[in-house]
Structure 1
Amino acid sequence: MENILVAGANGTTGKKIVQLLNESQYFNPIAMVRKEEQQTYFTAKNIDTVLGDLEEDVSHVFKDSKSIDKVLFAAGSGGKKVIEVDQEGAKRLIDASNKNGVKKFVMLSSMGADQPEKAEQLQDYLKAKHNADVYLKSSGLNYAIVRPGALTNGELTNAIALEEKLHTRGEISRNDVAQTLVQTLNDDVANNVTFEIIKGHTQIGEALNKMSFVKA
C-alpha cells in the first residue's frame, strides 16, 4: 500500500478522492487539513490525517505523518486566495515533496490554465493554476497535471473524453474527476504528462492507458 498525501482533503472533490483511496487495495490516504476540527470527519472513518496550512511552511507534514509515497494536490481557495493557496501553496508543497523523495505528484488543475490570458472569466485563478503547473513541470518531480472542464455534482459515469488538448469546452462530474485522479496515481500511466478531461464515452482506465500524445 502506498501512502498518498491529499492536499485539499476537506473540499468537496477532496473528500471524494480520500474516500476512493480509502476503498482502494493499492493506496492509503493521508488527509491534509488546516484545522483540528476538520480531522474529525476523517478520523471517524479511521483515515489518517495531518495538519498543514498551504499559506505557511508545509515541510513538517512529511515528518508528522507516515512515510508519504505520492501527493495529490486538490486544494483550492475558491477564488479567495488564488495567489496564496492555488499558486504559492502548490509551490510550497511541490518543494517539500521534492525534498522528501515523493515518487509522483498529481495536480488537479483546470481547463484554460494553459492560456489564462484568453479566458473570459476567472483569469486570476487560471493564471495562478498556470504558474503552479509550470512550477511543477520544472521541478524534476514525476508529475501528472489533470485539467478538467466545468465541475458538476453529477453521478459517477466512469466515462470521459481525454486528450492533451480537447479543443472543446465541456462539463465533468466531481465523481469522475476524483476517479480519474486516483487512477492517475498508478505507476504505469500518466507520467510527466498534462491532459484535459470532460465527460465522454471512454472508460477512465482505458482513456488513461490509451494516452498517445507526446509527454508535455
Structure 2
Amino acid sequence: MDILVAGGHGKVALRLLRLLAEQGHTARGLIRSPQHAADLEAAGAVPVLGDLENDETLDAYVRGADAVVFAAGAGPGSGPGRKRTVDLGGAVKLADAALSTGVRRYVMVSSIGADRPESAGETMRPYLLAKAEADDYVRASGLDATIVRPGSLTDEPGTGLVRVSRELGGRGPVPRDDVAAVLAYVLGAPRTAGLTFELFGGDTPIPQAVDAL
C-alpha cells in the first residue's frame, strides 16, 4: 500500500513509517521542514514536503495514496490557537483531501480524554477539545476511519502486548513503539473501519487484541 502519514517527523509517526517500510509498503511522511527529510529517509520512508497548517489543500500529497494517517500535533508548548489549526484543522484538511481524491481509508491518532474534554484541566482542555472535534468530523465524513486513542505515551521499549477497549474512559501508559505497531496493524485490518478504541500497555498480543474489538 501507499500510505501518507501527516506529521511525519513525530515520535509515533517515525516509528510507524519505519514499520510500514519494513513491511514493504510505500511509506510517505508529510513534513514541513526540509531538515527532517534525512530522518525519514533513514527510516526507509519517503519525505513529502508540505505545510499541513497553512497549505490551502492537501490534495496533491494525498493523491495516489491507499490510506492516510493523521499523526500530527501542535505539541505541548503550543497555545490554544495552534491546537485549533493543527490538531483540529490539519485533521479536517486531511479528511477533506482524502474525500476529494478518492482515498477511503483514514486512521486517526487521537487521545484518551477526547470523549470528555470538558472535564480536563485548563492546560489540557484546548487540546482535547480540538481532538474531540477532529474525531467527530472524521467519523461524520463517511470515510473508512479508525480512531485510536492512546493512553499516556512513553519511550519505554515496546512489548507487542496491549490492552484495547471500545468502552471509553480508561487510563494508563503505552509505549510509542506499541502505538505505532497497532497503527500498522490497523492499516492492514479493514474491518476496524468505523471503530474508536482506547489503547494502553497490556498483556494481549496486538493482533489478538485488535481482532477482538
Deviation for aligned residue 1:168:
3.0
Instruction: Give yes or no for contact 1:189–1:208 (8 Å, CA) kept in 2.
Output: no
Q: Distance in 2 between matches of 1:62 and 1:184?
A: 19
Instruction: Give yes or no for contact 2:7–2:30 (8 Å, CA) kept in 1.
Output: yes
- The range that moved more, 31-40 or 121-130, is 31-40
Deviation for aligned residue 1:180:
0.5
Deviation for aligned residue 1:134:
0.3
Choose which of 39, 44, 49 in structure 2 pairs with 1:41.
39
Q: Distance in 1 between matches of 2:164 and 2:201?
A: 9
Q: How many residues align?
A: 206
Q: Distance in 2 between matches of 1:36 and 1:166?
A: 38
1:147 equivalenced with 2:146 (yes/no)? no
Instruction: Give yes or no for contact 1:9–1:17 (8 Å, CA) kept in 2.
Output: no
Match of 2:134 in 1: 132
What per-residue deviation string (whole Å, max 9, x for no partner) do you get for residues 78-124 of structure 1? 03121110001110111001111113100000000011011235011
Aligned AA (1:17): L
SS of equivalent to 2:9: coil
Aligned AA (2:205): Q
Deviation for aligned residue 1:184:
0.7
Match of 1:15 in 2: 14
What per-residue deviation string (whole Å, max 9, x for no partner) do you get for residues 24-77 of structure 1? 13x2201111122221222355532211211122222135xxx21100111011
Structure 2-normalised TM-score?
0.92
Structure-2 change in CA distance of 1:123 and 1:36 (3 Å): same
Deviation for aligned residue 1:166:
4.8
SS of equivalent to 1:189: helix
1:78 equivalenced with 2:75 (yes/no)? yes
Instruction: Give yes or no for contact 1:76–1:86 (8 Å, CA) kept in 2.
Output: yes
Aligned AA (2:195): V
Runs of 4+ aligned structure 1 residues displaced above 6 Å come to none
Instruction: Give yes or no for contact 1:111–1:196 (8 Å, CA) kept in 2.
Output: yes
SS of equivalent to 2:188: coil
What per-residue deviation string (whole Å, max 9, x for no partner) do you get for residues 116-167 of structure 1? 0112350110000000000000111000000011000011111111111254
Instruction: Give yes or no for contact 1:106–1:143 (8 Å, CA) kept in 2.
Output: yes
Instruction: Give yes or no for contact 2:113–2:169 (8 Å, CA) kept in 1.
Output: no
Higher helix share: 2
- Aligned residues with identical type, % of pairs: 37
Structure 1-normalised TM-score?
0.90
Question: Which runs of 5 or more structure 2 residues have no equivalent in the other structure?
Answer: none
Q: Distance in 2 between matches of 1:180 and 1:46?
A: 19
SS of equivalent to 2:2: strand
Q: Distance in 2 between matches of 1:166 and 1:160?
A: 16
SS of equivalent to 1:184: helix
Question: Once superposed, what is the RMSD of the aligned Cα atoms?
Answer: 1.4
Match of 1:95 in 2: 96
SS of equivalent to 2:192: coil
- The range that moved more, 10-19 or 115-124, is 115-124
